[in-house]
Amino acid sequence: MHRLTRRDARRIAVRAQLLDASRPTDLLEVIRHLCLVQVDLTAAVAPNIDLVLWSRLGAAYRPQELDALLDEGRIVEYAGLLRPGEDIALFRARMAAWPGEGTTWRTGQHRWLTANQACHDDILATLRSEGPTAARDLRDTCVVPWRSSGWNNNRNVPGMLDLMEARGEIAVSSREGRERLWDLADRVYPTTDVVDAEQAVAERDRRRLTSLGIARASMTKPPGEPWDVGAAGEEAVIEGVRGTWRVDPAQLGAPFRGRAALLSPLDRLVVDRKRLTEIFEFDYQLEMYKPAAKRRWGYFALPILYGDRFVGKLDAASDIDTGLLRVNAVHQDVKFTAAMARAVDGEIDSLAAFLGLRVTRAAPADAR
């Protein structure tokens, strides 16, 4: 049983997410280490993919290099996440067993697909003959409509495509703007072996812990990628935090030198809000879905990391038409020292340079 202070845990988490002072330089290796990057096209500042990769690589990040890796199949999109192409081997057993054992929801999805087998077959035939195709260009021949809580009712073709992706039949081959183009999976994914289902789960847990550094063994599963790590790593407790954790032993005792970083609200270091509160004692919410009058920090505020602590939030927005990165406010959770202020300002300038924008800062509230 490893006994850690909160500072130990914070430093393990920051270092594991490649956010300490030793910046990586290889884009493919960064994605391999992180295991995944969420595809989210909200671009109040920049899309999540760009923010996550820029925050690690800095000036070494070139989006066109990511495009090349996607074109080569070395990076693939699966279930709304960018992953190393070779990691598809860890999902093939799950694809083959779909819907697997489990929930009423999965059973209902299987019944719906079976009832609409003709539409399923039409989509496969179209992709086989036409190649990459957008959902809007695929015929809806479903006889039973897709039903949900209301948000996705009658979105038959997108619903069918998602299930066919889960079964490993089709895959996202590329994107045109915000729209996914679909093709047969064997034309998109690299050729890999099928890893036994139990071994695949254990390996995914191990890789997830390597990228997170420290995590719970078990917790309520969020939509998409889990945040827990099963039996991976070694058991640990954190002083002042209830329960036990799993820690990557490779991170124990490693030296730490921090830096300033501006993170996406969907960054893996912050997306598990419970862990964020327990380890970092950081109060944060993404407020884009709140009415403007109820926002404390802004529409798409970026958490500000300094060393092993979160010290504030950056309320900023990209204005492409005017060529400006508008800094509306820098909310300080702690009073910035001169060194902290210089480091954070430097990251803001670096972000603007990456985006090809000029920084404009709103006057402080007390100066208006």
Residue 127's domain is classified under what CATH number?
Answer: 1.10.10
Name the β-bridge partners of 133: 182
- Do 220 and 268 fall into the same domain? no
Which residues of the chain fall short of a pLDDT of 50? 366-368
- Do 337 and 359 fall into the same domain? yes
Residue-wise DSSP of 125-144? HHHHHH-SEEGGGS----SS
| Residue 196 belongs to a domain | no
Show the CA angle centred on residue 270, arms to residues 265 and 274, nearest 5°: 125
- Do 156 and 234 fall into the same domain? no
CB 76 within 8 A of CB 220: no
CB 359 within 8 A of CB 336: no
| Residue 138 belongs to a domain | yes
CA separation for the pair 254, 262 (Å, rounded): 23
Residue type, 207: R
- Do 145 and 78 fall into the same domain? no
CA separation for the pair 73, 172 (Å, rounded): 11
Backbone angles phi, psi at 174, to 5 degrees: -170, 180
pLDDT tens readout for residues 63-117: 999 999 999 999 999 999 999 999 999 999 999 999 987 667 788 999 999 999 9
Q: Compute, in degrees rounded to 10, the torsion defined by CA atoms 87, 171, 57, 298.
A: -120
Whole-angstrom CA distances from 109 to 1, 145, 283 are 43, 12, 37
* Residue 153: per-residue pLDDT: 53
- Do 273 and 329 fall into the same domain? yes
- Do 282 and 244 fall into the same domain? no
Q: Give the other-Cβ count within 10 Å of 364's Cβ.
A: 9
- Do 94 and 144 fall into the same domain? yes
Question: Is 235 strand, coil or helix?
Answer: strand
| Residue 39 belongs to a domain | yes
Instruction: Give the number of domains in the chain.
Output: 3
* Residue 367: per-residue pLDDT: 43
Give the H or E element holding residue 298: none
| Residue 197 belongs to a domain | no
- Do 25 and 98 fall into the same domain? no
Residue where a domain terminates, one of 143, 161, 188 = 188
DSSP structure class, residue 269: T
| Residue 12 belongs to a domain | yes
Give the H or E element holding residue 340: helix 338-355
Q: How far apart are the first and last CA of the chain?
A: 55
Whole-angstrom CA distances from 223 to 80, 271, 314 are 11, 12, 27
pTM value is 0.94
CA separation for the pair 260, 23 (Å, rounded): 12
- Domain residue limits at 222: 2-83+202-251
CA separation for the pair 228, 221 (Å, rounded): 8
Residue where a domain terminates, one of 142, 157, 188 = 188
- Do 235 and 329 fall into the same domain? no
Residue where a domain terminates, one of 188, 214, 231 = 188
Residue 363 is encoded by which pair of tokens?
Answer: 């006057």
| Residue 363 belongs to a domain | yes
pLDDT tens readout for residues 214-264: 999 999 888 888 999 999 999 999 999 999 999 999 999 999 999 999 999
Residue 41 is encoded by which pair of tokens?
Answer: 């096209």
Give the H or E element holding residue 14: helix 6-16
Tokens 């996705």 label which residue?
152
Residue type, 49: I
* Residue 154: per-residue pLDDT: 59
Strand order in the sheet with 37-38: 37-38, 81-84, 75-78, 170-176, 179-184, 133-134
The residue ranges of DSSP E strands in 35-149, in sequence order, are 37-38, 75-78, 81-84, 133-134
* Residue 368: per-residue pLDDT: 41
DSSP structure class, residue 365: G
- Do 279 and 302 fall into the same domain? yes
- Do 63 and 116 fall into the same domain? no
- Do 302 and 220 fall into the same domain? no
User: Of 122, 107, 189, 110, which is closest to residue 157 (Cα–Cα)?
Assistant: 122
DSSP structure class, residue 116: T
Q: What is the CATH number of the domain that holds 286?
A: 3.40.630
| Residue 351 belongs to a domain | yes
| Residue 339 belongs to a domain | yes
Distance of CA 302 to the CA centre of its chain: 15
* Residue 222: per-residue pLDDT: 83
